[in-house]
Amino acid sequence: MTSLDKPTEDTQAEDARAEDARAVTEAALFEAFGGVRGMVETVLPGLLFVTIFTINKDLHWSAIAALAVSVVLVVVRLAMRDTVKHAFSGVFGVAFGVVFAMMTGNAKDFYLPGMLYTLGLALAYIITTLCGVPLIGLILGPVFKENLSWRTRNPGRKKAYAKASWAWGLILLAKCAILFPLYWWANTAQLGWVLVALKIPPFLLAVWLTWVFLAKAPAPIDVFAEMEAAEKAEEERKAAQAAESGEAASGGRHRK
């Protein structure tokens, strides 16, 4: 190997590790946020509600259709034995909106629980980051099998989680700054179409920024692998002690 070959091989190894880190990050984000299917399940009920309401101005039929399609999405996932957490969250969100709108008789209130949830989530991202426990780290830590190890053992990763949480918080706050004035000033159809339009782009921007920050961060510490290694080492230690005890006992019998 010449002196010129080694840097090239080192660079290739670093590139391979970086590519692996990006792939792991992409897979983790896809799992945590539901991917394309999760986005469809998030958008479809609201889209159906505003479409029907725009056509016939009937709150009851619009609400029933939105709730029905949410339930169908859950049933499809159950039939396919797939994870249902994203579909279930959609059902609960739609159900709260339906109940709220039916109670007040105001079709715009169908969107209010979701808007309040978005505001609360934005504040949660910001407050947890200020407290040193960024929410995105709490969400993705188990997915990366690092749990909370990033808090004390991986400062570079904690910094990346803080940046990502700031991004989520500020993006969601910007979304709320658009939606809440429309809740007061616009009609139901206008608010609904703006809400549908703002479902995916802010989400994709936040996910992309999270990917950018984490792809450049140090690799996660696999605490599950560490625990398994510690358990294996403990078992080997006990086995060695038992073997030594057995040899000592056997030696004692021979001396007798």
Look up tokens 């159950």; give the residue. Answer: 78
Comparison of pLDDT for 21 and 123, the residue scoring more: 123
Q: Is residue 58 included in any domain, yes or no?
A: no
Helix axes 200-215, 155-185, angle to 10 degrees: 170
Q: Is residue 165 included in any domain, yes or no?
A: yes
Q: Is residue 130 included in any domain, yes or no?
A: yes
Q: How many domains is the chain built from? A: 2
Q: How far is CA 167 from CA 125, 134, 174, 203, in A?
A: 9, 11, 11, 11
Sign of the C-alpha dihedral, residues 126, 127, 133, 139? negative
Residues 231 and 200 grouped into a single domain: no
Distance CA 47, CA 187 (A): 16
Residues 200 and 163 grouped into a single domain: yes
Residues 130 and 181 grouped into a single domain: yes
pTM over 0.75: yes
Q: Is residue 142 included in any domain, yes or no?
A: yes
Distance CA 188, CA 57 (A): 9
Residues 180 and 148 grouped into a single domain: yes
Distance CA 223, CA 131 (A): 23
Q: Is residue 101 included in any domain, yes or no?
A: no
Residues 127 and 207 grouped into a single domain: yes
Structural domain for 230, as ranges = 225-256
Residue 57: which residues within 8 A CB-CB, separation 6 or more?
Answer: none
Q: How far is CA 142 from CA 26, 133, 138, in A?
A: 15, 14, 7
| pLDDT of the residue at 36 | 72
Give percent of the chain above pLDDT 70.
Answer: 78
Contact 161, 140 (CB under 8 A): yes
Give the lowest-confidence range in 2-6, 28-32, 141-145, 158-162.
2-6
Q: Is residue 205 included in any domain, yes or no?
A: yes
Q: What are the tens digits of pLDDT across the range 87-118?
A: 666 777 888 888 888 888 889 999 999 999 99
Q: Is residue 104 included in any domain, yes or no?
A: no
Comparison of pLDDT for 202 and 241, the residue scoring more: 202
Look up tokens 């709730």; give the residue. Answer: 67
| pLDDT of the residue at 192 | 92
Q: Is residue 84 included in any domain, yes or no?
A: no
Residues 159 and 177 grouped into a single domain: yes
